[in-house]
Chain A
Amino acid sequence: MGRNSGDSSGVTPYDFGGQWQPSSHELARRASRKKKNNRNAIIATLSSVVVLGSLAIVVVTSPGWKSLSDTFFAWAYGVEVLPKIILGFGTNVVLTLIAGSSVAILGLTIALLRTSRSPALTPFRILSTIYVDLFRGIPMLLVILLVGFGIPALRLQGVTNNVLVLGTIAVIITYTAYVAEVIRSGILTVHPSQRAAARSLGLTHFQTLRHVILPQALRRVTPPLLNDLVALIKDTGLVSILGVTDAVRAAQISSSRTFNYTPYVMAAIVFLLITIPLTRFTDRTLRKSIERQNAQGNA
Protein backbone atom coordinates (compact mmCIF):
# COMPACT_ATOMS: atom_id res chain seq x y z
CA MET A 1 0.00 0.00 0.00
CA GLY A 2 3.01 2.19 0.48
CA ARG A 3 3.55 2.05 -3.28
CA ASN A 4 0.12 3.40 -4.09
CA SER A 5 0.28 6.59 -2.14
CA GLY A 6 3.96 7.21 -2.67
CA ASP A 7 4.22 7.18 1.12
CA SER A 8 6.88 4.68 2.16
CA SER A 9 6.68 5.32 5.89
CA GLY A 10 4.61 2.15 6.46
CA VAL A 11 5.84 -0.71 8.62
CA THR A 12 6.83 -2.91 5.68
CA PRO A 13 8.63 -0.90 2.99
CA TYR A 14 8.16 -3.68 0.42
CA ASP A 15 4.54 -4.68 0.78
CA PHE A 16 3.71 -6.80 -2.26
CA GLY A 17 0.64 -8.29 -0.62
CA GLY A 18 -2.47 -6.28 -1.44
CA GLN A 19 -4.36 -5.85 -4.71
CA TRP A 20 -2.66 -3.20 -6.82
CA GLN A 21 -4.65 -0.07 -7.64
CA PRO A 22 -3.23 2.59 -9.94
CA SER A 23 -2.34 5.72 -7.99
CA SER A 24 -4.05 9.03 -8.69
CA HIS A 25 -0.76 10.19 -10.17
CA GLU A 26 -0.75 7.27 -12.65
CA LEU A 27 -4.44 7.86 -13.48
CA ALA A 28 -3.73 11.51 -14.31
CA ARG A 29 -0.79 10.43 -16.47
CA ARG A 30 -2.99 7.96 -18.39
CA ALA A 31 -5.73 10.54 -18.94
CA SER A 32 -3.25 13.03 -20.31
CA ARG A 33 -1.67 10.36 -22.60
CA LYS A 34 -5.11 9.44 -23.93
CA LYS A 35 -5.97 13.06 -24.63
CA LYS A 36 -2.72 13.50 -26.55
CA ASN A 37 -3.35 10.32 -28.58
CA ASN A 38 -6.86 11.46 -29.51
CA ARG A 39 -5.56 14.84 -30.61
CA ASN A 40 -2.88 13.15 -32.78
CA ALA A 41 -5.48 10.91 -34.41
CA ILE A 42 -7.64 13.91 -35.32
CA ILE A 43 -4.67 15.78 -36.80
CA ALA A 44 -3.59 12.74 -38.85
CA THR A 45 -7.11 12.25 -40.27
CA LEU A 46 -7.59 15.92 -41.12
CA SER A 47 -4.23 16.32 -42.85
CA SER A 48 -4.71 13.08 -44.82
CA VAL A 49 -8.13 14.13 -46.07
CA VAL A 50 -6.89 17.58 -47.08
CA VAL A 51 -3.68 16.46 -48.83
CA LEU A 52 -4.93 13.28 -50.54
CA GLY A 53 -8.30 14.86 -51.37
CA SER A 54 -6.82 17.91 -53.07
CA LEU A 55 -4.32 15.69 -54.92
CA ALA A 56 -7.20 13.62 -56.30
CA ILE A 57 -9.14 16.73 -57.32
CA VAL A 58 -6.09 18.22 -59.08
CA VAL A 59 -5.45 14.99 -61.02
CA VAL A 60 -9.06 14.35 -62.04
CA THR A 61 -9.81 17.96 -63.06
CA SER A 62 -6.55 18.43 -64.98
CA PRO A 63 -6.94 18.89 -68.77
CA GLY A 64 -5.09 15.61 -69.58
CA TRP A 65 -7.22 13.45 -67.28
CA LYS A 66 -9.73 12.46 -69.92
CA SER A 67 -7.15 11.18 -72.41
CA LEU A 68 -5.13 9.58 -69.59
CA SER A 69 -8.07 7.59 -68.29
CA ASP A 70 -9.16 6.66 -71.84
CA THR A 71 -5.66 5.35 -72.65
CA PHE A 72 -4.85 3.52 -69.40
CA PHE A 73 -8.10 2.91 -67.58
CA ALA A 74 -10.61 1.89 -70.24
CA TRP A 75 -12.24 -0.62 -67.91
CA ALA A 76 -14.69 -2.08 -70.44
CA TYR A 77 -11.81 -2.91 -72.77
CA GLY A 78 -9.76 -4.11 -69.83
CA VAL A 79 -12.43 -6.62 -68.80
CA GLU A 80 -12.65 -7.78 -72.43
CA VAL A 81 -8.94 -8.67 -72.63
CA LEU A 82 -8.67 -9.94 -69.05
CA PRO A 83 -9.27 -13.66 -69.89
CA LYS A 84 -6.33 -13.63 -72.33
CA ILE A 85 -4.09 -11.98 -69.75
CA ILE A 86 -5.12 -14.43 -67.04
CA LEU A 87 -4.47 -17.31 -69.44
CA GLY A 88 -1.02 -15.84 -70.11
CA PHE A 89 -0.47 -15.37 -66.38
CA GLY A 90 -0.93 -19.14 -66.02
CA THR A 91 2.35 -19.45 -67.91
CA ASN A 92 4.04 -17.09 -65.41
CA VAL A 93 2.72 -19.14 -62.50
CA VAL A 94 3.83 -22.50 -63.98
CA LEU A 95 7.19 -20.99 -64.87
CA THR A 96 7.58 -19.66 -61.32
CA LEU A 97 6.77 -23.04 -59.80
CA ILE A 98 9.15 -24.98 -62.05
CA ALA A 99 11.96 -22.40 -61.88
CA GLY A 100 11.43 -21.83 -58.13
CA SER A 101 11.76 -25.49 -57.18
CA SER A 102 14.73 -26.04 -59.51
CA VAL A 103 16.44 -22.93 -58.15
CA ALA A 104 15.89 -24.11 -54.56
CA ILE A 105 17.58 -27.46 -55.22
CA LEU A 106 20.42 -26.11 -57.37
CA GLY A 107 21.01 -23.07 -55.15
CA LEU A 108 21.30 -25.28 -52.06
CA THR A 109 23.71 -27.60 -53.87
CA ILE A 110 25.96 -24.75 -54.95
CA ALA A 111 25.86 -23.13 -51.51
CA LEU A 112 26.93 -26.45 -49.96
CA LEU A 113 29.70 -26.85 -52.54
CA ARG A 114 31.01 -23.37 -51.83
CA THR A 115 31.01 -23.88 -48.03
CA SER A 116 32.51 -27.38 -48.10
CA ARG A 117 36.18 -27.87 -47.31
CA SER A 118 36.58 -31.29 -48.86
CA PRO A 119 39.69 -31.43 -51.08
CA ALA A 120 37.94 -33.72 -53.56
CA LEU A 121 35.37 -31.01 -54.25
CA THR A 122 37.94 -28.30 -55.00
CA PRO A 123 37.29 -28.16 -58.78
CA PHE A 124 33.53 -27.92 -58.17
CA ARG A 125 34.12 -25.21 -55.60
CA ILE A 126 36.12 -23.19 -58.13
CA LEU A 127 33.47 -23.72 -60.83
CA SER A 128 30.65 -22.68 -58.48
CA THR A 129 32.49 -19.51 -57.52
CA ILE A 130 33.05 -18.57 -61.16
CA TYR A 131 29.44 -19.39 -62.00
CA VAL A 132 28.04 -17.29 -59.17
CA ASP A 133 30.29 -14.32 -59.96
CA LEU A 134 29.38 -14.51 -63.64
CA PHE A 135 25.62 -14.83 -63.46
CA ARG A 136 25.12 -12.37 -60.64
CA GLY A 137 26.88 -9.81 -62.79
CA ILE A 138 25.01 -10.25 -66.08
CA PRO A 139 21.57 -8.66 -66.66
CA MET A 140 18.99 -11.43 -66.76
CA LEU A 141 17.57 -10.10 -70.03
CA LEU A 142 20.94 -10.82 -71.67
CA VAL A 143 20.98 -14.37 -70.32
CA ILE A 144 17.45 -14.91 -71.65
CA LEU A 145 18.46 -13.62 -75.10
CA LEU A 146 21.67 -15.67 -75.12
CA VAL A 147 19.96 -18.91 -74.14
CA GLY A 148 16.65 -18.35 -75.92
CA PHE A 149 18.02 -17.22 -79.28
CA GLY A 150 21.64 -18.41 -79.04
CA ILE A 151 21.07 -22.10 -78.35
CA PRO A 152 18.60 -22.68 -81.24
CA ALA A 153 21.15 -20.95 -83.52
CA LEU A 154 23.63 -23.73 -82.71
CA ARG A 155 21.26 -26.24 -84.36
CA LEU A 156 22.32 -28.92 -81.91
CA GLN A 157 20.90 -32.41 -82.29
CA GLY A 158 18.36 -33.36 -79.62
CA VAL A 159 18.37 -29.92 -77.96
CA THR A 160 15.00 -28.31 -77.74
CA ASN A 161 14.14 -25.11 -79.58
CA ASN A 162 11.11 -24.53 -77.40
CA VAL A 163 11.43 -20.92 -76.22
CA LEU A 164 9.38 -21.59 -73.09
CA VAL A 165 11.83 -24.28 -71.97
CA LEU A 166 14.88 -22.20 -72.91
CA GLY A 167 13.45 -19.11 -71.19
CA THR A 168 12.83 -21.12 -68.04
CA ILE A 169 16.41 -22.43 -68.15
CA ALA A 170 17.73 -18.88 -68.45
CA VAL A 171 15.68 -17.78 -65.43
CA ILE A 172 16.92 -20.78 -63.45
CA ILE A 173 20.56 -20.07 -64.33
CA THR A 174 20.32 -16.47 -63.14
CA TYR A 175 18.28 -17.03 -59.98
CA THR A 176 20.32 -20.02 -58.83
CA ALA A 177 23.36 -17.74 -58.58
CA TYR A 178 21.46 -15.33 -56.30
CA VAL A 179 19.80 -17.97 -54.15
CA ALA A 180 23.07 -19.90 -53.70
CA GLU A 181 24.63 -16.76 -52.23
CA VAL A 182 21.69 -16.13 -49.90
CA ILE A 183 21.83 -19.71 -48.59
CA ARG A 184 25.62 -19.59 -48.28
CA SER A 185 25.43 -16.42 -46.20
CA GLY A 186 22.89 -18.19 -43.97
CA ILE A 187 25.23 -21.14 -43.48
CA LEU A 188 28.07 -18.79 -42.56
CA THR A 189 25.98 -17.01 -39.89
CA VAL A 190 25.55 -20.19 -37.83
CA HIS A 191 28.09 -19.85 -35.03
CA PRO A 192 31.12 -22.20 -35.22
CA SER A 193 30.38 -23.39 -31.67
CA GLN A 194 27.29 -25.17 -33.03
CA ARG A 195 29.48 -27.19 -35.37
CA ALA A 196 31.96 -27.85 -32.55
CA ALA A 197 29.16 -29.13 -30.30
CA ALA A 198 27.78 -31.39 -33.04
CA ARG A 199 31.18 -32.78 -34.02
CA SER A 200 32.14 -33.36 -30.39
CA LEU A 201 29.02 -35.54 -30.10
CA GLY A 202 30.48 -37.73 -32.85
CA LEU A 203 28.19 -36.56 -35.64
CA THR A 204 29.86 -36.68 -39.05
CA HIS A 205 30.34 -33.62 -41.22
CA PHE A 206 27.25 -34.48 -43.26
CA GLN A 207 25.10 -35.25 -40.20
CA THR A 208 26.17 -31.94 -38.65
CA LEU A 209 25.15 -30.11 -41.80
CA ARG A 210 21.86 -31.95 -42.13
CA HIS A 211 20.66 -31.77 -38.52
CA VAL A 212 22.38 -28.74 -36.99
CA ILE A 213 23.70 -26.21 -39.51
CA LEU A 214 21.16 -26.22 -42.36
CA PRO A 215 17.96 -26.09 -40.27
CA GLN A 216 19.25 -22.96 -38.51
CA ALA A 217 20.69 -21.42 -41.69
CA LEU A 218 17.53 -21.92 -43.78
CA ARG A 219 15.31 -20.55 -41.05
CA ARG A 220 17.39 -17.38 -41.00
CA VAL A 221 17.33 -16.87 -44.78
CA THR A 222 13.61 -17.61 -45.26
CA PRO A 223 12.66 -13.88 -45.46
CA PRO A 224 15.27 -13.00 -48.14
CA LEU A 225 14.38 -16.17 -50.05
CA LEU A 226 10.68 -15.20 -50.06
CA ASN A 227 11.80 -11.81 -51.31
CA ASP A 228 13.58 -13.53 -54.19
CA LEU A 229 10.41 -15.51 -54.92
CA VAL A 230 8.45 -12.27 -55.35
CA ALA A 231 11.17 -11.00 -57.70
CA LEU A 232 11.10 -14.31 -59.58
CA ILE A 233 7.35 -14.09 -60.26
CA LYS A 234 7.82 -10.64 -61.75
CA ASP A 235 10.93 -11.58 -63.71
CA THR A 236 9.19 -14.50 -65.43
CA GLY A 237 7.55 -11.69 -67.44
CA LEU A 238 10.92 -11.16 -69.12
CA VAL A 239 10.67 -14.41 -71.10
CA SER A 240 7.94 -12.67 -73.14
CA ILE A 241 10.85 -11.24 -75.15
CA LEU A 242 11.33 -14.74 -76.62
CA GLY A 243 7.72 -14.77 -77.81
CA VAL A 244 6.34 -16.83 -74.94
CA THR A 245 2.68 -15.86 -74.48
CA ASP A 246 2.71 -14.98 -70.80
CA ALA A 247 0.68 -12.20 -69.16
CA VAL A 248 3.06 -9.50 -70.40
CA ARG A 249 3.04 -10.79 -73.97
CA ALA A 250 -0.75 -11.23 -73.94
CA ALA A 251 -1.14 -7.63 -72.82
CA GLN A 252 1.31 -6.48 -75.47
CA ILE A 253 -0.62 -8.23 -78.24
CA SER A 254 -3.95 -6.74 -77.17
CA SER A 255 -2.46 -3.32 -76.70
CA SER A 256 -0.65 -3.16 -80.04
CA ARG A 257 -3.87 -4.01 -81.81
CA THR A 258 -5.81 -1.05 -80.41
CA PHE A 259 -3.10 1.39 -79.23
CA ASN A 260 -4.80 1.38 -75.87
CA TYR A 261 -2.62 0.66 -72.83
CA THR A 262 -5.30 -0.66 -70.51
CA PRO A 263 -4.17 -4.31 -71.09
CA TYR A 264 -0.78 -3.43 -69.53
CA VAL A 265 -2.54 -1.97 -66.50
CA MET A 266 -4.66 -5.13 -66.25
CA ALA A 267 -1.51 -7.30 -66.42
CA ALA A 268 0.06 -5.16 -63.69
CA ILE A 269 -3.03 -5.64 -61.51
CA VAL A 270 -2.91 -9.42 -62.04
CA PHE A 271 0.74 -9.48 -60.92
CA LEU A 272 -0.05 -7.29 -57.90
CA LEU A 273 -2.84 -9.65 -56.81
CA ILE A 274 -0.17 -12.30 -56.23
CA THR A 275 2.85 -10.23 -55.25
CA ILE A 276 1.27 -7.93 -52.64
CA PRO A 277 -0.05 -10.76 -50.43
CA LEU A 278 3.30 -12.54 -50.83
CA THR A 279 5.17 -9.37 -49.83
CA ARG A 280 2.98 -8.99 -46.74
CA PHE A 281 3.64 -12.64 -45.90
CA THR A 282 7.38 -12.01 -46.30
CA ASP A 283 7.23 -9.02 -43.96
CA ARG A 284 5.44 -11.10 -41.35
CA THR A 285 7.97 -13.91 -41.66
CA LEU A 286 10.82 -11.43 -41.28
CA ARG A 287 9.24 -9.90 -38.20
CA LYS A 288 8.77 -13.33 -36.62
CA SER A 289 12.32 -14.31 -37.41
CA ILE A 290 13.66 -11.14 -35.78
CA GLU A 291 11.50 -11.75 -32.71
CA ARG A 292 12.83 -15.29 -32.46
CA GLN A 293 16.43 -14.12 -32.71
CA ASN A 294 15.86 -11.49 -30.05
CA ALA A 295 14.32 -14.11 -27.79
CA GLN A 296 17.43 -16.22 -28.24
CA GLY A 297 19.63 -13.25 -27.48
CA ASN A 298 17.85 -12.69 -24.17
CA ALA A 299 18.11 -16.29 -23.06
Chain B
Amino acid sequence: MSEVLVVEKVRKAFGSEVVLEDISFRVPVHTATVFIGSSGSGKSTLLRCINLLEQIDDGIITLDGQEISAVEANVDEVRKKFGMVFQAFNLFPHKTVLENITLAPIHARGIEPEQAIAEALELLARFGLKDKAEQYPDRLSGGQQQRVAIIRSLALHPRMLLLDEITSALDPVLVNEVLSLVRDLKSDGMTMLLATHEMGFAKQVADEVCFLHKGRILEWGAPEDLLESPKLPETKDFLRRVHEAGRL
Protein backbone atom coordinates (compact mmCIF):
# COMPACT_ATOMS: atom_id res chain seq x y z
CA MET B 1 0.00 0.00 0.00
CA SER B 2 1.44 3.38 -0.93
CA GLU B 3 1.87 5.98 1.74
CA VAL B 4 0.35 9.43 1.36
CA LEU B 5 1.91 10.97 4.45
CA VAL B 6 5.10 9.97 6.22
CA VAL B 7 6.13 11.73 9.41
CA GLU B 8 9.60 10.96 10.77
CA LYS B 9 11.08 12.02 14.12
CA VAL B 10 9.23 15.33 14.22
CA ARG B 11 9.93 17.66 17.11
CA LYS B 12 8.23 20.94 17.96
CA ALA B 13 8.83 23.28 20.87
CA PHE B 14 7.36 26.64 21.81
CA GLY B 15 10.28 28.34 23.53
CA SER B 16 11.50 25.93 26.18
CA GLU B 17 8.24 23.96 26.19
CA VAL B 18 8.53 20.82 24.08
CA VAL B 19 5.12 20.08 22.55
CA LEU B 20 6.01 17.24 20.17
CA GLU B 21 8.94 14.84 20.53
CA ASP B 22 10.09 12.01 18.26
CA ILE B 23 6.80 11.73 16.36
CA SER B 24 6.89 9.11 13.57
CA PHE B 25 3.99 7.49 11.73
CA ARG B 26 2.68 6.72 8.25
CA VAL B 27 -0.73 7.23 6.69
CA PRO B 28 -1.33 4.81 3.76
CA VAL B 29 -3.69 5.86 0.98
CA HIS B 30 -7.47 5.46 1.67
CA THR B 31 -6.88 4.97 5.40
CA ALA B 32 -7.66 7.00 8.48
CA THR B 33 -5.22 7.53 11.32
CA VAL B 34 -6.76 8.80 14.53
CA PHE B 35 -4.85 10.60 17.27
CA ILE B 36 -6.30 10.43 20.76
CA GLY B 37 -4.99 11.97 23.95
CA SER B 38 -5.95 14.52 26.56
CA SER B 39 -6.08 18.27 25.89
CA GLY B 40 -2.58 19.68 25.62
CA SER B 41 -1.06 16.39 24.48
CA GLY B 42 -0.05 18.03 21.19
CA LYS B 43 -2.71 16.71 18.78
CA SER B 44 -3.65 20.11 17.33
CA THR B 45 -0.03 21.23 17.10
CA LEU B 46 0.81 18.07 15.16
CA LEU B 47 -1.93 18.77 12.59
CA ARG B 48 -0.85 22.41 12.30
CA CYS B 49 2.76 21.32 11.76
CA ILE B 50 1.76 18.93 8.99
CA ASN B 51 -0.20 21.72 7.27
CA LEU B 52 2.85 24.02 7.70
CA LEU B 53 0.87 26.45 9.84
CA GLU B 54 3.64 25.84 12.39
CA GLN B 55 7.32 25.33 11.69
CA ILE B 56 8.79 22.07 13.00
CA ASP B 57 12.06 22.11 14.92
CA ASP B 58 13.33 18.78 13.66
CA GLY B 59 12.32 15.76 11.59
CA ILE B 60 10.95 15.21 8.10
CA ILE B 61 7.41 15.29 6.72
CA THR B 62 6.77 13.88 3.25
CA LEU B 63 3.58 13.97 1.21
CA ASP B 64 3.43 11.55 -1.72
CA GLY B 65 7.17 11.08 -1.48
CA GLN B 66 7.98 14.80 -1.58
CA GLU B 67 9.48 16.43 1.45
CA ILE B 68 7.14 19.26 2.43
CA SER B 69 9.22 20.20 5.46
CA ALA B 70 12.07 21.23 3.12
CA VAL B 71 12.97 24.92 3.24
CA GLU B 72 12.34 25.31 -0.48
CA ALA B 73 8.86 23.72 -0.38
CA ASN B 74 6.11 26.02 -1.70
CA VAL B 75 3.96 26.55 1.37
CA ASP B 76 0.83 27.67 -0.50
CA GLU B 77 1.04 24.71 -2.91
CA VAL B 78 1.48 22.25 -0.03
CA ARG B 79 -1.49 23.62 1.89
CA LYS B 80 -3.78 23.17 -1.10
CA LYS B 81 -3.09 19.44 -0.92
CA PHE B 82 -4.43 19.23 2.63
CA GLY B 83 -8.02 19.90 3.59
CA MET B 84 -7.86 21.24 7.12
CA VAL B 85 -10.94 21.50 9.34
CA PHE B 86 -10.79 23.23 12.71
CA GLN B 87 -12.53 22.72 16.03
CA ALA B 88 -14.07 26.23 15.87
CA PHE B 89 -15.16 25.88 12.18
CA ASN B 90 -13.41 29.16 11.24
CA LEU B 91 -15.87 29.93 8.46
CA PHE B 92 -15.58 33.44 7.03
CA PRO B 93 -18.48 35.33 8.69
CA HIS B 94 -18.69 38.01 5.98
CA LYS B 95 -19.18 35.51 3.18
CA THR B 96 -22.13 33.27 2.33
CA VAL B 97 -21.84 29.50 2.52
CA LEU B 98 -21.32 29.36 -1.24
CA GLU B 99 -18.67 32.10 -1.17
CA ASN B 100 -16.89 30.37 1.71
CA ILE B 101 -16.62 27.23 -0.39
CA THR B 102 -15.70 28.85 -3.72
CA LEU B 103 -13.13 31.38 -2.43
CA ALA B 104 -10.13 29.04 -2.43
CA PRO B 105 -11.01 27.14 -5.64
CA ILE B 106 -11.32 30.44 -7.55
CA HIS B 107 -8.26 32.17 -6.11
CA ALA B 108 -5.92 29.37 -5.03
CA ARG B 109 -6.77 26.77 -7.68
CA GLY B 110 -7.55 29.37 -10.31
CA ILE B 111 -10.63 27.70 -11.78
CA GLU B 112 -13.50 29.60 -13.41
CA PRO B 113 -16.08 30.99 -10.95
CA GLU B 114 -18.96 29.26 -12.81
CA GLN B 115 -17.24 25.90 -12.46
CA ALA B 116 -16.36 26.55 -8.81
CA ILE B 117 -19.99 27.41 -8.05
CA ALA B 118 -21.25 24.34 -9.88
CA GLU B 119 -18.84 22.09 -7.96
CA ALA B 120 -19.73 23.73 -4.65
CA LEU B 121 -23.47 23.33 -5.24
CA GLU B 122 -22.91 19.69 -6.15
CA LEU B 123 -21.03 19.10 -2.88
CA LEU B 124 -23.69 20.98 -0.89
CA ALA B 125 -26.44 18.92 -2.51
CA ARG B 126 -24.58 15.71 -1.81
CA PHE B 127 -24.36 16.53 1.90
CA GLY B 128 -27.90 17.88 2.20
CA LEU B 129 -27.04 21.57 2.54
CA LYS B 130 -28.04 22.92 -0.86
CA ASP B 131 -30.76 25.18 0.58
CA LYS B 132 -28.13 26.89 2.78
CA ALA B 133 -25.95 28.06 -0.13
CA GLU B 134 -26.97 31.72 0.10
CA GLN B 135 -27.04 31.89 3.92
CA TYR B 136 -24.41 33.48 6.10
CA PRO B 137 -22.63 31.13 8.53
CA ASP B 138 -24.13 32.72 11.67
CA ARG B 139 -27.60 31.61 10.51
CA LEU B 140 -26.58 27.94 10.58
CA SER B 141 -26.44 25.47 13.45
CA GLY B 142 -23.01 24.39 14.70
CA GLY B 143 -23.32 21.05 12.96
CA GLN B 144 -24.24 22.69 9.67
CA GLN B 145 -21.35 25.13 10.01
CA GLN B 146 -18.88 22.34 10.55
CA ARG B 147 -20.26 20.39 7.58
CA VAL B 148 -19.83 23.52 5.45
CA ALA B 149 -16.24 23.81 6.73
CA ILE B 150 -15.58 20.20 5.67
CA ILE B 151 -17.13 20.85 2.24
CA ARG B 152 -14.97 24.00 1.96
CA SER B 153 -11.85 21.91 2.42
CA LEU B 154 -13.12 19.24 -0.01
CA ALA B 155 -13.62 21.85 -2.73
CA LEU B 156 -9.85 22.01 -3.13
CA HIS B 157 -9.74 18.29 -4.06
CA PRO B 158 -7.24 17.69 -1.27
CA ARG B 159 -4.92 14.69 -1.21
CA MET B 160 -5.89 14.11 2.41
CA LEU B 161 -7.99 15.65 5.19
CA LEU B 162 -6.69 16.93 8.52
CA LEU B 163 -9.57 17.05 10.99
CA ASP B 164 -8.77 18.78 14.28
CA GLU B 165 -11.31 17.84 16.98
CA ILE B 166 -14.08 18.82 14.61
CA THR B 167 -16.90 17.85 16.99
CA SER B 168 -15.53 19.28 20.24
CA ALA B 169 -17.45 22.54 19.92
CA LEU B 170 -20.77 20.84 19.11
CA ASP B 171 -23.52 19.64 21.37
CA PRO B 172 -24.07 15.87 21.36
CA VAL B 173 -27.12 15.96 19.08
CA LEU B 174 -25.16 17.74 16.34
CA VAL B 175 -22.05 15.58 16.64
CA ASN B 176 -23.66 12.74 14.69
CA GLU B 177 -24.47 14.68 11.54
CA VAL B 178 -20.81 15.72 11.29
CA LEU B 179 -19.44 12.28 12.06
CA SER B 180 -21.68 10.55 9.54
CA LEU B 181 -20.33 12.92 6.87
CA VAL B 182 -16.77 11.91 7.80
CA ARG B 183 -17.79 8.23 7.66
CA ASP B 184 -19.15 8.79 4.14
CA LEU B 185 -15.89 10.39 3.07
CA LYS B 186 -13.94 7.50 4.57
CA SER B 187 -15.96 4.95 2.63
CA ASP B 188 -15.38 7.03 -0.52
CA GLY B 189 -11.68 6.34 0.04
CA MET B 190 -10.55 9.70 1.41
CA THR B 191 -7.24 9.53 3.25
CA MET B 192 -7.44 11.30 6.59
CA LEU B 193 -5.74 12.20 9.81
CA LEU B 194 -7.96 13.03 12.77
CA ALA B 195 -7.62 14.27 16.30
CA THR B 196 -10.71 13.41 18.32
CA HIS B 197 -12.23 12.80 21.73
CA GLU B 198 -14.98 10.61 20.26
CA MET B 199 -13.75 7.07 21.03
CA GLY B 200 -16.79 5.35 19.53
CA PHE B 201 -16.23 7.22 16.31
CA ALA B 202 -12.48 6.51 16.39
CA LYS B 203 -13.27 2.79 16.61
CA GLN B 204 -15.58 2.96 13.58
CA VAL B 205 -13.47 5.04 11.24
CA ALA B 206 -9.83 4.43 12.22
CA ASP B 207 -7.44 2.03 10.56
CA GLU B 208 -4.83 2.96 13.12
CA VAL B 209 -5.10 4.75 16.46
CA CYS B 210 -2.17 6.57 18.06
CA PHE B 211 -2.20 7.60 21.70
CA LEU B 212 -0.41 10.90 22.18
CA HIS B 213 0.78 11.70 25.69
CA LYS B 214 2.87 14.73 26.63
CA GLY B 215 4.01 15.18 23.03
CA ARG B 216 5.02 11.57 22.37
CA ILE B 217 3.26 8.67 20.67
CA LEU B 218 3.17 6.22 23.56
CA GLU B 219 1.08 3.46 22.02
CA TRP B 220 -0.39 2.73 18.62
CA GLY B 221 -2.24 -0.07 16.88
CA ALA B 222 -5.51 -1.23 15.37
CA PRO B 223 -8.49 0.47 17.05
CA GLU B 224 -9.91 -2.72 18.54
CA ASP B 225 -6.54 -3.56 20.14
CA LEU B 226 -5.61 -0.14 21.45
CA LEU B 227 -9.04 0.96 22.59
CA GLU B 228 -10.12 -2.34 24.13
CA SER B 229 -6.91 -3.83 25.47
CA PRO B 230 -4.38 -1.05 25.93
CA LYS B 231 -0.98 -2.11 27.25
CA LEU B 232 0.46 0.95 28.94
CA PRO B 233 -0.84 2.35 32.23
CA GLU B 234 -1.03 5.89 30.71
CA THR B 235 -3.29 4.66 27.90
CA LYS B 236 -5.46 2.70 30.33
CA ASP B 237 -5.72 5.73 32.58
CA PHE B 238 -6.69 8.03 29.69
CA LEU B 239 -9.31 5.61 28.32
CA ARG B 240 -10.74 5.09 31.78
CA ARG B 241 -11.12 8.83 32.29
CA VAL B 242 -12.77 9.23 28.89
CA HIS B 243 -15.05 6.33 29.76
CA GLU B 244 -15.99 7.96 33.06
CA ALA B 245 -16.78 11.14 31.19
CA GLY B 246 -19.43 9.07 29.46
CA ARG B 247 -18.15 9.19 25.94
CA LEU B 248 -17.24 5.56 25.26
Contacts and interface: CB of A to CB of B under 8 A. Distances in A.
Contacts of A199: 53, 76, 79
A72 B204 CA distance: 85
Most buried by B among A193, A202, A212: A202
Interface string A115-143: 00000000000000000000000000000
B104 A196 contact: no
Contact of B94 (A198, A203, A216, A298): A216
A202 B94 contact: no
Interface residues of A, number: 21
B53 A212 contact: no
A34 interface: no
B107 A193 contact: no
A24 to B, nearest CB: 38
A202 B137 contact: no
A202 B156 contact: yes
Interface stretch (B81-89, B116-124, B179-187, B213-221): B81-89
A197 B138 contact: no
A200 interface: yes
A161 interface: no
A201 B152 contact: yes
A50 B46 CA distance: 72
A211 B107 contact: yes
Interface residues of B, number: 29
B90 A194 contact: yes
Contacts of B77: 202
Q: Is the interface of A mostly helix, strand, loop or mixed?
A: helix
A296 B53 contact: no
Interface string B90-111: 1111100000000110011100
B191 interface: no
A267 B229 CA distance: 86
A197 B82 CA distance: 12
A201 B108 CA distance: 8
Contacts of B235: none
Most buried by B among A199, A211, A299: A299
Given A212-B92, A219-B94, A197 B108 contact: no
A299 B88 CA distance: 12
A215 interface: yes
B30 to A, nearest CB: 22
B146 interface: no
Contacts of B48: 196
Interface string A170-202: 000000000000000000000001101111111
Contacts of B88: 193
Contacts of B53: 196, 199-200
B107 A196 contact: no
Nearest to B141: A299
B76 A200 contact: no
A89 B90 CA distance: 48
B203 interface: no
Interface of A: 193-194, 196-204, 207, 211-212, 215-216, 219, 295-296, 298-299
10 closest A-B pairs (Cβ-Cβ)?
Answer: A202-B80, A197-B90, A201-B104, A299-B138, A202-B108, A200-B84, A202-B79, A193-B90, A215-B94, A207-B107
